[in-house]
Amino acid sequence: MNNFSSRTLWRFGYSARLLKTNHFRTAASNTSFPAVWILSAQYSGRIPGLFLVVKKNRFFTMPETVEDKANLELYSPHPEVRGMTLLDREAFKRTVVVPVLKVKKEIVNTVLKSLKHTVLQRPGLKRVAEDPEDGDSRLVILDPHKIPGFSLGESEQEILKELNVCPEVSKYNLELTYENFKSEEILRAVLPEGQEVTSGFSRVGHIAHLNLRDHQLPYRHLIGQVIIDKNPGITCVVNKTNIIDSTYRNFQMEVLAGEGNLITKVKENNIAYELDFSKVYWNPRLSTEHSRIVELLKPSDVLFDVFAGIGPFAIPAAKKKCHVFANDLNPESYNWLLHNCKLNKVDNKIKAFNMDGRDFLLGPVREELSKELPLLKEEPKTSFHIVMNLPALAIEFLDVFRHLLVGEPCSTAGLPMVHCYGFSKHDDPAKDIQERAEASLGTSLDGRCSTHLVRNVAPNKEMLCISFQIPADVLYKRPCPDEGKPASKRLRASKDSSEEKLLS
């Protein structure tokens, strides 16, 4: 083992795993030499195959060179940016040493193709540089992580021999700037070591929406500017400053960087919407769920959208030629719903309401169902769907369906289908949602409902949708046999009944 050269170790990729082999363990245990430390971890998971000895011993040595350190830091900004709160792009400049091949400019493309697995592959970095000493040649930049020790492997040398290119590798000073680093790399270099880095966000038109944690707040303006710099089309970055208001489903926010214009335009499932992001609720992560529900509908079906927002269920349903009743308590959402109905030319197909959800169910929904359900036949062509997308509270509204209508259903197949959303932190969220729905309805839904996992909202918090057809014994209140008779006849019937009891 002690006869291995440092270059051989690089070639065979020896790592800390060697410590686990019997041969190496025996050698170490039979000597007084200190333990071998080898760093085989990828540098933040981004540099595969790079190994660096961080403690030397008598088994083998590997001299630490400037080039080794440069290789390790190729994708890392200058360490002096750590703790920066006001973005200084110039501070990210650094120069690293990389391997290059001198190639005649006529065959540069051929060499790039032949050594595609060895050439530097890094977005934003050029793979070919001018040769300051020879105008007829170019310098092909190689990936230092794949050329350890600045020496090509035998397979690469064979390829270059066939192309009549000298396999000698030279050193080249490559300048890296702020533009060469990804947003995650920049933020990881700036924030304290070991702290969680936020580079993900929800995009709403030109707005990037963040949910920063407390330890990230001192860097919030820098984070906002980096996101604008690294994401074309983003011109405003906001951070949520409190939880969503359960009444109007909007939240306070702080503009971290860019313009303060929060009126934006989005496109979801090929439908355009306009909105004021500071005053209405919009979540781009619900696109799939909106589409899933709309796909359940057929032309001529009726949709009651109890908490409609700006129309992501209602408008595509109307475009599908459904009859839509859409409601939202938030006046701003109601106004943007009307605006988006006109924008998508479905304003004559949607009846919009600005009411409390409970009042909407007890009013327009009950009125429409009372009028339409008695007309249905045993095999109705029209289905009724009620969407209740207010996860924080919607399940509490289900008690409205208890005896909402009076009479007998003409067709149990035509009973309305409810799609109700809720949050759950339970170990069995589907069971939790079902039990809470059953408590509101006052009946069991076993075998009569389905639950769909919509998304993970936070650790141990799920958003689900429970779908069920309202049971007839819940929806309908059966009238008493005497109900509807004149008062005199009801009194006479009551006396006759009393006399019969006395005679018996």
Q: What is the average pLDDT across 76-81?
A: 88
Does pLDDT of 17 surpass 80? no
Between CA 190 and CA 479 the distance in angstroms is 71
β-pair partners for 462? 424, 456
Helix (H, G, I), strand (E, B) or coil at 479: coil
* pLDDT at site 411: 76
Highest mean pLDDT among 74-88, 309-323, 364-378: 309-323
Q: Is the Cα dihedral 37, 43, 46, 51 positive or negative?
A: negative
Question: How many Cα atoms sit within 13 Å of 346 on the Cβ side?
Answer: 27
Q: How confident is the model at residue 60 (pLDDT cuts 50, 70, 90)?
A: very low
Sequence-ordered alpha helix ranges (H) in 63-196: 66-72, 108-114, 154-162, 183-190
Higher pLDDT, 345 or 485: 345
In this structure, are residues 332 and 280 in contact, taking their beta carbons and an 8 Å threshold? yes
CA 95 to chain centre: 36
Question: How confident is the model over 446-462, as a mean pLDDT?
Answer: 94
Can you tell me the mean pLDDT for 101-119?
92
- Mean pLDDT taken over the chain: 82
Q: Which residues are annotated as a binding site for S-adenosyl-L-methionine?
A: 290, 328-329, 356-357, 389
Q: Highest mean pLDDT range out of 17-31, 141-155, 164-178?
A: 164-178
Average pLDDT over residues 471-499: 63
Check: CB of residue 467 under 8 Å from CB of residue 388.
no
Q: Which residues pair with 276 in a beta bridge?
A: 263
* Amino acid 20: pLDDT: 36
To the nearest 10 degrees (0 to 180), the angle between helices 183-190 and 220-230 is 160
Instruction: Work out the average pLDDT over 202-226.
Output: 93
- Residue list for the binding site: 290, 328-329, 356-357, 389
Contact in structure between 469 and 443 (CB atoms under 8 Å): no
CA angle 120, 122, 124 (to 5 degrees): 125
Phi and psi torsions of 175, nearest 5°: -90, 125
User: What pLDDT band is residue 151 in, cutting at 50, 70 and 90?
Assistant: confident
Give ∠ CA 485-487-492 in degrees, rounded to 5. Answer: 90
Predicted local confidence at residue 482, as pLDDT: 57
Q: Which of 6-20, 46-60, 226-240, 406-420 has the lowest mean pLDDT?
A: 46-60
pLDDT at 445 over 80: yes
DSSP letter, residue 332? H
pLDDT band at 315 (very low <50, low <70, confident <90, very high): very high
Distance, CA of 54 to CA of 73 (rounded, Å): 15
- Domains of the chain (ranges; CATH) run 6-64 (no CATH), 94-176 (3.30.70.240), 300-477 (3.40.50.150)
pLDDT of residue 199: 62
| Residue 53: predicted pLDDT | 33
Contact 154, 177 (CB under 8 A): no
pLDDT band at 200 (very low <50, low <70, confident <90, very high): confident
Strands of 229-322 (E only): list them: 236-240, 253-258, 263-268, 271-276, 302-305
Stretch (H or E) spanning 287: helix 287-296
**Cα–Cα distance measured from residue 103 to residue 137, given in angstroms and rounded to the nearest whole number:** 5
Top mean pLDDT of 81-95, 212-226, 334-348 is at 334-348
Neighbouring residues of 48: CB distance < 8 A, sequence distance ≥ 6: 42, 145
pLDDT at res. 441: 97
Do the beta carbons of residue 316 and residue 345 sit within 8 Å?
no
Q: What is residue 182's DSSP assignment?
A: -
Q: 367 in helix, strand or coil?
A: helix
